[in-house]
Structure 1
Amino acid sequence: MSDVARKAGVSTMTVSRALKDGASIAEETRERIKRAVDELGYVLDQSAGSLSSKRTGFVAALIPSINNSNFADTARGLTDALKGTGLQILLSYTDYSVEKEEELIESMLRRRPEAIVVTGGKHTERGRRLLENAGIPVIETWDLPAKPIQHVVGFSNAEASAALVRYLHKQGYRKIGFIGGTTNRDTRGADRRMGYERAMAELGLKETRVISFGTPPISMKQGGEALAKLIEQWPEVEAAICVSDLSAFGALMECQKRKWAVPKRVAIAGFGDFEISSCSYPTITTVGVHCYDIGRRAGELLMRAIEGERTGKPTAPDTVITRYEVIAREST
């Protein structure tokens, strides 16, 4: 700032005032300072002002993966909702690990974000305590936790999976299998398995057929290998629900390799409505969960919550339930 002041022929205080929105300063002086700023490549250090105003200008967002198009869409929705607000997103990914999420929550909170958005409603005990004591708006997304920390924007993965089971049952399928990961690392995947088992029991289909294969998130290759194991163990299986569209696409490719007709030999269903599910042949039945909308509505709720904090009128905990639906396609 001293360099800018010397170049513009003014005091550092005048430079500071010129770089603040709404400050009263002669336009000719302001323009001279701006030219000096541009020539020197100066960037205002906002950290000192952040300490006094408690406004850092960013929100933290944690997603499970940066190469999953669903979570990328959620991040895009969140970004679009914050457009024009002056807030920026500091994004990081947990790799589907609640332990890594805990580390990232602590790291993010050290940077004093104005709010934090996390994916899912299951956390480590310490991670949950950190969020509860953060003193900023917290939004859990992609889930409907039984005990929300504050705000929630999401849907029940178990209910969405159950809806898919009911759809297959209505289509005449009775011997339905489920393909998921080997661990509960993907907590939403675990909820989808629970929804499958619950719906099967409610429909009087007592025999469940579950293949746990691969560490979440399950790849296309693992989806194919898992389907082969499913049919090897239960040759009578009529339909397979996969924990995601990527594993469903892998299962579909395995069927084509083995010349198993889909859906005549076995029906395939996924979850998430990835673009690949509408472009494959045959196209894949799936559950659409409106990922972009989750992010956009989380951003809108986040702005209301931040404004409430700034005005001393905190908003009451809110739960926004987002929509989902079974998208019937050629694979069933």
Structure 2
Amino acid sequence: MRRSAPTLTDVARLAGVSEITVSRVVRNKGSIAETTRVRVQEAIVKLGYVPNRAAGALASAGAPLIGVLLPSLSNIVFPEVLRGIHTALASTGYQPLIGVTDYDPVKEQELLSSLLAWQPAAIITTGFEHTDATRRMLADSRVRVAELMDIDAEPIDIAVGLSQRRAGFDAGRHLIGRGYRRFGYVGHDWNADHRARLRYEGVRAALAEADLGLTAEERFDGPSSTMAGRKTLAALLSWEPDLDVVVFSNDDMAVGGFFHCLGANISVGRELGLFGFNGLDIGQVLPLPLSTIRSHRFDIGRIAVEKLLESSRRPEEKLIVDTGYEIIAGATA
């Protein structure tokens, strides 16, 4: 049985204060002792309570809402997902409310609380890495929920995406089949991008199956970028130059690695193979098209909306939609 959503009364009872006090804290109105405010806020987080602002101006305007939480809009992957979402919503009358989490689970929690306060018809979020409070709010709410990009865990309602671990495994197996034996890895911050770590684990599993391993690896302590890829490959090759191929956490990093090779007079594809992930256009317009895996990002956003709007009620059986991926042979590996 699904629990009913916590109420203002529940918060007041747990915090040991009146309902009026809870209301003042939620609305940030009136004089409240700091210790009381903290106690109420802790109760709100513990219960996953979401205030109902649906009677406000936005709801009265008659626009049904879909909440969308994405980790980034500077990474081209997620604008493509958003384009799929917009395309699917175009003829429905629903309007998206968009929040950007910057890969921060606590920020996702705060944004989700704000979105749920408007009583949206559905919430679209990214991945399965939520705080406990976020998971409670999503699980206890009556709205439909779609978690995108990954299908390697059990969703709250619907998951739409691909197996990141399997994609990494297939990349490793593809490169082994191409004759590579001395593998390097260049990545970025795993704390921010859990899906990159899943792909890394998949590559390692494929190598282990062939009695191989990573000869060397280097990770950039920050988000992915072409500059990070260039610098990190340079650092890796400075202490381990004898590699056959380098697998990158994504195409941004791999494109940066390609530019390092150009500057260092390393013949890509002959002296050193490079392999990315995502299948971005920028990788395919390099002098040598990037060898990579293409994910179907537009379809992920579109299918998520279509599945969410099939029913306003969350079904008992959870749904996983595998949008798959394809290996692009390219010319760099």
CA contact (8 A) 2:185 2:216 kept: yes
Q: Is the 8 A contact 1:165 1:200 kept in 2?
A: yes
1:267 counterpart residue number: 273
Does the CA-based 8 Å contact 2:63-2:95 persist in structure 1? no
Task: Tell me how far apart the structure 1 counterparts of residues 58 and 268 of structure 2 sit (CA, whole Å).
Answer: 58
The one-character-per-residue Cα deviations of 1:191-219 (angstroms, maximum 9, x if unpaired) are: 11111211111121034522111312x11
Structure 1 distance, partners of 2:205, 2:87, is: 37
Aligned to 1:61: 68
Query: Equivalent residue for 1:299?
Result: 305
**CA–CA separation in structure 1 for the residues paired with 2:328 and 2:97:** 33
Q: Secondary structure at the match of 1:305?
A: coil
Q: Distance in 2 between matches of 1:305 and 1:209?
A: 49
Equivalent of 1:213 in 220, 225, 236:
220
1:197-251 deviation line (CA, Å, top 9, x unaligned):
11111121034522111312x1111101111122123222111111111110000
Aligned to 1:250: 256
Q: Is the 8 A contact 1:211 1:226 kept in 2?
A: yes
Specify the alignment match of 1:235 in structure 2. Answer: 241
- What amino acid does structure 1 have at the position aligned with 2:271? R
Residue from 116, 126, 151 that aligns with 2:133: 126
Deviation at 1:131, TM superposition (A): 0.9
Aligned equivalents of 1:191, 1:177: Cα separation in 2: 16
| 1:149 counterpart residue number | 156
Larger radius of gyration: 1
* Cα distance change of structure 1 residues 56 and 317 upon mapping to structure 2, 3 Å threshold: farther
Task: Provide the secondary structure at the position in 1 that maps to 2:327.
Answer: strand
1:144–1:152 CA contact under 8 A, matched in 2: yes
TM-score (norm 2): 0.79
Aligned length: 280
Distance in 1 of aligned mates of 2:247 and 2:327: 12
CA-to-aligned-CA distance 1:5-39 (integer Å, 9 cap, x gap): xxxxxxxxxxxxxxxxxxxxxxxxxxxxxxxxxxx
Residue 325 of structure 2 is matched in structure 1 by 324
**AA of the residue aligned to 2:257:** A
Alignment partner of 1:87 is 2:88: no
| Equivalence for 1:114 | 121
**3-state SS of 1:271 partner:** coil
How big is the shift at 1:50? 8.3
What is the CA distance between 1:320 and its match in structure 2?
A: 0.7
Instruction: For 1:111 and 1:48, locate their aligned partners in 2 and report how far apart those are by CA, in whole Å.
Output: 8
- Describe the shift of the 1:330–1:207 C-alpha distance in structure 2 as closer, same or farther (beyond 3 A): closer
**Contact between 1:223 and 1:249, CA under 8 Å: does it hold in 2?**
yes
Distance in 2, matches of 1:315 and 1:243, equals 36
1:300 maps to a residue whose letter is: E
Q: Distance in 2 between matches of 1:183 and 1:146?
A: 17
Q: Please state whether the residue corresponding to 2:69 is helix, strand or coil.
A: strand
For 2:186 and 2:165, locate their aligned partners in 1 and report how far apart those are by CA, in whole Å: 14
Q: Contact 2:152–2:164 (CA<8 Å) still a contact in 1?
A: no
Match of 1:190 in 2: 197
Out of 83-92 and 245-254, give the one that drifted further.
83-92
| Structure 2 letter corresponding to 1:253 | F
Please list every run of at least 4 consecutive aligned residues from structure 1 whose deviation after the TM superposition is greater than 3 angstroms: 46-52
Gap regions ≥5 residues in structure 2: 1-53
Cα drift, residue 67 of structure 1: 1.9
Matched residue type, 1:277? G
State percent identity of aligned pairs: 33
Aligned-partner Cα distance in 2 for 1:170–1:324 = 18
SS in 2 for 1:106: helix
In the alignment, residue 175 of structure 1 is paired with which amino acid?
A: R
Partner of 1:172: 179
How far is 1:316 from its partner? 3.5
Is the contact made by 1:255 and 1:262 (CA closer than 8 Å) also made in structure 2? yes
Residue 74 of structure 1 corresponds to 81
Match of 1:287 in 2: 293
- Over residues 241-282 of structure 1, what are the superposed CA-to-partner deviations in whole Å (9 max), with x where a residue is unaligned? 111111100000000000000011111111101110110111
Given residue 131 of structure 1, which amino acid in structure 2 is its aligned partner? L
Cα RMSD over matched residues? 2.1
Q: 1:138 to 1:286 in 2, by over 3 A?
A: same
1:293–1:315 CA distance, 2 compared to 1 (3 A): farther
Distance 2:214 2:251 in 1: 24
Residue identity matched to 1:239: V
Q: Distance in 2 between matches of 1:83 and 1:315?
A: 28
The CA distance in 2 between the partners of 1:192 and 1:257, in whole Å, is: 28
Distance 1:57 1:104 in 2: 18
Of residues 102-111 and 131-140 in structure 1, the stretch that sits farther from structure 2 once superposed is: 102-111
In structure 2, distance between residues paired with 1:294 and 1:268: 26
